[in-house]
A and B are shown apart, each in its own frame.
Chain A
């Protein structure tokens, strides 16, 4: 996708002024938190499962080279092919080669953030192959030429009238005066349209939520069943996925599944959780004849052994963005990256470079909610802080901010000077503002006072007041002692 993370501030201002987006956010945002909480409260073991989930992913990453090799060997033993791809370009080319070898004209796609990350659709189209998104949310975004604004609810930013308008514009073979009385009518029309696509496709592309080293299986989780139709009906199934998704066993996967749906949609379990292992077996009446795994690195191996290693635990549930006050205010597109919200703020600088995405780790109030709901306990605010440090070290912070911080640090290291300075400022501001007791404009704080008043200090600084009070108390207690004796 087009990277616009560098324009986060402008994007955010635009998002705040977008009435349709604000309506969509206000409607949907509180639902996720409420549903997650209800699902978690019904399962007494949830905290224990979170801890187990964290440990499973840590174990897998600490032995990632071993488990990837074991996984690849198991895939090959079941008749599948693994395509190791260091870069996004490698992965795009691997998919294209598979499609060309299959003589594919159209490919259906299940929802996959990794294919968004590598910009697969545009690449296939440029090479004469038509990709068709089959997840309902991804389908309408493809019609509208938009990117997802949420990692599990891609059309989070759209309202019903947007759906109706897009369907009328795109499905021109249907009567133009048809009525969309309910949401169901929109769904039914999409189902009919996509059924034809499922049956016509030569290749089906899905993502994977987990890869299992023990069996060589890929696992997808959907509610619609589109991923299953995508991987069952065409002659070739391609799994486009990334290296950190491998876990050792089925049992490890089951534990992760128990925290995934609850954290994501507040369901106990998604409707379809499907384990795929290789292509069609002798005697199988259906299923794909070929099974390929395009296994992408794209910067992830570079996170191993760094302070960002914890991020490789992420299972893409979206709980962090569902609970984030910044995401809730501006939505996903403002982030200008494939992955929005807190997890995106940590992952994006790794994938595209901190130079172009330095705003993202700063777009946080550090309220800590994301870390508290993360099913694999990723310390997201801490990781964003690491990016801020790197940004500062690499002189990517604006000059005024650097000088300001430098000035502050000078005084902060000299407490006496700091107290004298702040006391002088407080007394001066208090005297200057003695009439109205507030300022509507202050030098060097124009941005702050543009939207609110700055209250004038009343009386002395805390330290001065504290010192005075201690002194008075000391005299009093000395006096009492004298009486007691």
Chain B
């Protein structure tokens, strides 16, 4: 009942009935083509430039960055980071194939569990689908290999992103996502660690989400 009333009121306001077929087809065409608008130039650099800009923006937004040669360097980098932060070396790791293939046994001090984070987990390691140079933003879609809870519950979020997946703009990241699959249930664009300025408009880190965000960029062997 409300549906017809709302649509009817809109059409009365627009002084027309339902759109004619050709116009509907045109609008459907616009959705299918999903044209881009103005895209800022600043991220549109070569890969080295994009990665450098991405890292700089992550740091500006109070995140930290480590650049690694390959996935083999991940356990050492994780252990080092947790030691520096004085956090116990136990972590839950998202069940993504790239993370599952890491030889965590190389760092025996790390206690690793694959799966979905529980409220008691203090550290999480996840795999970003892409990074966006424009603002130092991570794209974290949901799915069997990427539980959403892992982006949110632990105090320390460690995120792996491959340098070749760091693109210029949000549009580029969504192009990659569209090519890979249909729209996931949940897509998070994350820019820095959780924060709030609700108390006297003064920024404090660590509101409800992770207090720390550490990004591990895998530069590749080349």
Contact = CB atoms under 8 A, between A and B. Distances in A.
B207 A136 contact: yes
Contacts of B144: 283-285
Given A224-B208, A229-B153, 15 more contacts: A62-B14, A160-B200, A191-B206, A223-B207, A225-B208, A243-B10, A248-B34, A251-B35, A251-B36, A274-B188, A275-B188, A277-B185, A281-B184, A297-B9, A304-B13
A121 interface: no
B128 to A, nearest CB: 14
A250 B174 contact: yes
Contacts of B135: 268-269
Contacts of A305: 12-15
Contacts of A24: 200
Contact of A232 (B61, B152, B200): B152
A27 B200 contact: yes
A387 interface: no
A280 B185 contact: yes
User: Which 3 residue pairs spanning A and B have beta carbons closest together?
Assistant: A225-B209, A304-B13, A305-B13
A290 B222 CA distance: 46
B148 A250 contact: no
Interface of A: 24, 27-28, 31-32, 43-45, 48-49, 52, 56, 62-70, 72, 78, 84-86, 90, 134-137, 140, 153-156, 158-160, 163, 183-184, 186-188, 191, 194-195, 198-199, 213-215, 217, 223-226, 228-229, 232-233, 243, 248-252, 254-255, 257-258, 265, 267-281, 283-287, 297, 301-306, 309
Interface in B118-176: 119, 134-135, 137, 142-144, 147-149, 151-153, 169-171, 174
B195 A224 contact: yes
Nearest to B35: A251
A154 B5 contact: no
A64 B12 CA distance: 12
Given A136-B207, A305-B14, A285 B191 contact: no
A28 B143 contact: no
Interface stretch (B24-32, B64-72, B73-81): B24-32
Contact of B201 (A43, A153, A249): A153
B7 interface: yes
B: interface residue count bin: 35 or more
A221 to B, nearest CB: 9
Nearest to A224: B207
A63 B31 CA distance: 13
Contacts of A136: 196, 198-199, 207
Contact of B194 (A66, A215, A225, A278): A225
Given A223-B195, A232-B152, A273-B189, A248 B2 contact: no
B36 A134 contact: no
B76 to A, nearest CB: 28
Contact of A271 (B35, B142, B193): B193
Interface in B180-217: 183-202, 204, 206-210
Nearest to A28: B201
Given A229-B152, A269-B189, A297-B2, A28 B137 contact: no
A284 B10 contact: no
Contacts of B34: 214, 248-251
B198 A135 contact: yes
A279 B198 contact: no
A89 to B, nearest CB: 11
B97 interface: no
A66 B30 CA distance: 12
A52 B17 CA distance: 27
A409 to B, nearest CB: 33
